[in-house]
Chains A and B, each alone.
Chain A
Amino acid sequence: KAGVTQTPRYLIKTRGQQVTLSCSPISGHRSVSWYQQTPGQGLQFLFEYFSETQRNKGNFPGRFSGRQFSNSRSEMNVSTLELGDSALYLCASSLEAAFYGYTFGSGTRLTVV
């Protein structure tokens, strides 16, 4: 079966712009999470959605937001981009919860210049 699909794979944006990343989870998975990966901070949790509701949120500023649609697809948005937002953004999906394990996508590499 198809895995977690993230689009686009690569993005280059300018400081101050906004960006939207997309994630299509495995069919039937209702929980979708987002993580930011950087060399300095490692893997940090952004937020988690389940059946269109945000269930949990990490310690990121309000510039980072997300949503989930009725078909479980998810998007995350970053407004007013800063250089420090350059990172690999990973989406992960699970049937119900992290406790059972997540399947990760290949990520979107965002570069802010």
Chain B
Amino acid sequence: GDSVTQMEGPVTLSEEAFLTINCTYTATGYPSLFWYVQYPGEGLQLLLKATKADDKGSNKGFEATYRKETTSFHLEKGSVQVSDSAVYFCALSDPNTGNQFYFGTGTSLTVIP
């Protein structure tokens, strides 16, 4: 079945450090891939998405490239800020398996000044 495997956390970085959060997936079809972010006490906010192989999603300095050959969608940011501290979720939606998201377990990021 469909699934998402996400890098375990928590991750602690200093401000302006480089961020990578790994995400790999298993899907029966050709899924769309997403990164969502959750701030304390809030719901999930869409950070970026990619709908086909080799697409790059980007937003607020974050990027992720849909790699079909490695079934990966790693999240990167060149220089993190304290305000990026949150929990990040990788997710997929596969039109072959119905209208739902399969989420990773989430990666907690703390950025220290």
Contacts and interface: CB of A to CB of B under 8 A. Distances in A.
Interface of A: 4, 6, 31, 33, 35, 42-43, 45, 48, 50, 55-56, 58, 90, 92, 97-107
B88 interface: no
Contacts of A97: 93, 95, 99
Contact of B105 (A42, A58, A100, A107): A42
Interface residues of B, number: 24
A24 B59 CA distance: 26
Interface of B: 31-32, 34, 36, 41-46, 49, 51, 89, 93-95, 98-101, 103-106
Nearest to A100: B32
A101 B100 CA distance: 10
A105 B43 contact: yes
B94 to A, nearest CB: 8
Given A45-B101, A101-B32, A107-B42, 13 more contacts: A35-B101, A42-B104, A42-B106, A98-B100, A99-B31, A99-B94, A99-B95, A101-B34, A101-B46, A102-B46, A103-B46, A104-B43, A106-B42
Contact of A56 (B31, B42, B49, B99): B99
The CB with the most chain A CB atoms within 10 A, among B31, B32, B41, B43, is that of B43
13 contacts: A31-B99, A43-B103, A48-B99, A55-B99, A90-B43, A97-B99, A98-B100, A99-B31, A100-B32, A101-B93, A104-B36, A106-B43, A107-B43
